[in-house]
Amino acid sequence: MANKERFYSILLIFSTIVSSINLISCEKSLITNQAALFVFGDSVFDVGNNNYINTHRAAQANVWPYGQTTFKFPTGRNSDGRLIPDFIAEYAWLPLIPPYLQPRNGVNHYTYGVNFASAGAGALVETYQPQNVIPLGSQLNNFKNVEKMLKDNLGDAETKRIISRAVYLIQIGPNDYFYPFSVNASHFESNSKEKFVDYVIGNTTAVIEGIYKLGGSKFGLMNMGRLDCVPGLLTMDPNRIGSCFEPITELIKLHNVRIPNVLRDLQRRLPSFRYSLFDSYTAGTEAMENPTKYGFKEVKKACCGSGPFRGSSTCGYRAGTSRDFELCENVSDYMFFDGSHTSEKANQQTAELMWDGPSDLVGPYTLKTLFQNF
């Protein structure tokens, strides 16, 4: 086991060096006027920041079989391959956007953007803090550090141009809504669900406004998807095994009613503020109810994990020489890679819809429009 862990550690270091070299070598071939992509969020968007912090094993994805499909080794992404921001970067003619904490990052990397997302993060500071993850507010502080570095190296005018033309991709909230149930099942017996949702959205809005004050004006967001129906939550209610976890469903619906109104208010108040809101809930429901239409054979059971629906977060765990998890043979048949995260195939489908999907799923702008028309 020690040898295998050492092997994957070497691979992780090697991938960091290679990605740095690739970014530098491709700078001349990319359009120098291309809008950058700055990414904020949780494990849905984290491309490896948690590899570089002292956090709980459950908040990292730096062991096999994570990354097996595209990268052929674990990169810190919570999937078998690429995540949504990876595909968005590709569609925008950008290189892979590196994690902020990756060693050897430099100003040349930041001109194309950087990823601040941290698995386990929430809009609320207290969400999963025993695991020492990077909450959304701290991610904003990291963005401020990047802005300062750009100014120090490129000057105020060029930094202003980069930040004003960039697109800011944000995915946050699922951990905030799940965390109370993981630590205190009776939390909402004495706390208003409506006020809790307002706190989550309020903190998210504060970060959006913080980015806006620094010059950012183009934002891409997702509403709450089918968090209540991921494999890991299908056994949360012992009386309804296999059913979506209804207490979180209520929070999701409250969030999804409020977030469009909040964004419209920001658009009214903030000159030049533009946004793209993707209806992840409707898209996820459609895929779950019509799996064959999207090329899936399994939408309830995870590819990697253990227990009912392979929903337990044991993917990659080993005890001695034996592994404590099951792994499917063909991940492309599965909507979910592990108990909480979608497969690369599902991530690509989501990214395509966010990039240039129909108006009933994404609006008032698509990400393609934000990148190309403003």
d(CA 109, CA 132): 26
CB 306 within 8 A of CB 319: no
HSE-up of residue 118 (Cα within 13 Å, Cβ side): 29
Give exposure, 121-139, as e/b (b: 16+ Cβ within 10 Å): bbbbeebbeebebbbbbeb
Q: Which of 15, 19, 20, 43 is catalytic?
A: 43
Task: Give the number of other CB atoms < 10 A from CB of residue 192.
Answer: 10
* Catalytic choice (276, 338, 340, 343): 338
**Residue 148: exposure state from Cβ atoms within 10 A (0-12, 13-18, ≥19):** exposed
* Pair 113, 44: CB distance under 8 Å: no
The verdict on whether 43 is a catalytic residue reads yes
Question: Cα 348 to the chain's mean position, in Å?
Answer: 13
Residue type for 245, please?
F
97 contacts 89 by C-beta, under 8 angstroms: yes
Q: Is 338 a catalytic residue?
A: yes
Radius of gyration of the chain (CA): 20
Q: Are 131 and 59 in contact (CB under 8 A)?
A: yes
Are the C-beta atoms of 196 and 247 separated by less than 8 Å?
Answer: no
Amino acid letter, residue 92:
A
Instruction: Name the active-site residue from 228, 255, 312, 341.
Output: 341
151 burial class (0-12, 13-18, 19+ CB within 10 angstroms)?
middle
Cβ atoms 47, 75 nearer than 8 A: yes
Task: Please list the residues that pair with 123 across neighbouring strands.
Answer: none
Nearest of 111, 131, 118 to residue 39 by alpha carbon? 118
Residues taking part in catalysis:
43, 338, 341
